Amino acid sequence: AQRVTQPEKLLSVFKGAPVELKCNYSYSGSPELFWYVQYSRQRLQLLLRHISRESIKGFTADLNKGETSFHLKKPFAQEEDSAMYYCALSGYNQGGKLIFGQGTELSVKP
Amino acid sequence: DAGVTQSPTHLIKTRGQQVTLRCSPKSGHDTVSWYQQALGQGPQFIFQYYEEEERQRGNFPDRFSGHQFPNYSSELNVNALLLGDSALYLCASRGRGGRVNTEAFFGQGTRLTVV
């Protein structure tokens, strides 16, 4: 079965603390993994994807095929990072269909 | 570029009625996907349109149907509405035939409430 699991509904940290949002997936084949973010009153937008291997707004994510995980990390959280974060998966033969996790709300307190 | 635009933003319908939601893709995009997002859940894929044809479909009943027009805009139709159809409906567009490695841009969504 194709599935994305985000075990935490809410993650609350203080400004300057490290952040790790967990994402595990189940997929038979070669998946492409993404993190999408939704800031308050804004639309869902792509944060980063594993094939780009880039850091966006200080966030990084590494695809671990052995553990089937794609955790999102940031060494020092900022208040403006507060948002809903969704991990998503797509297969190379899926024509762009995205399978989303349930989302994790990140709250960064001052 | 206004990006992906959806209309209406909010809608209230009665159980059993039919509803049509509309989406205009981002300029230059030719592929449109629809997602249903129930409260507290992640978006769930409904279907994708490219070249005016449904190319992929998620696990949704036939009550959910769609259309894509020559200008790449799209409609989502839901017949015989159920209370459980209440959700935020998101439209996403991609360029170049919806290949996986092109970024999906999302609209603000249409909030449908079925009473």
Which pLDDT tens digit goes with each residue over B27-69? 999 999 999 999 999 999 999 999 999 998 999 999 999 999 9
Q: Is there a contact between A96 and B98 if contact means CB atoms under 8 Å apart?
A: yes
Q: How far apart are CA A93 and CA A104, in angstroms?
A: 27
CA proximity to B9, closest of B80, B114, B115, B112: B112
Question: Contact at 8 Å (CB) between B30 and B21?
Answer: no
- Smallest CA–CA separation between A99 and chain B, in Å? 7
Q: Is A29 on the interface with B (CB under 8 A)?
A: no
Question: Contact at 8 Å (CB) between A71 and A22?
Answer: yes
CA proximity to A108, closest of A2, A1, A10, A4: A10
Model confidence over A38-47: pLDDT tens digits?
999 999 999 9
Q: Is there a contact between A103 and B100 if contact means CB atoms under 8 Å apart?
A: no
Model confidence over A68-109: pLDDT tens digits?
999 999 999 999 999 999 999 998 766 678 999 999 999 999
Element (H, E) at A89: strand A83-91
Q: How many CB pairs under 8 A join A and B?
A: 66
pLDDT beyond 80 at B99: no
| Alpha-carbon torsion (B20, B26, B30, B33), positive or negative | negative
Give the nearest chain B residue to A102 (CA atoms). Answer: B42
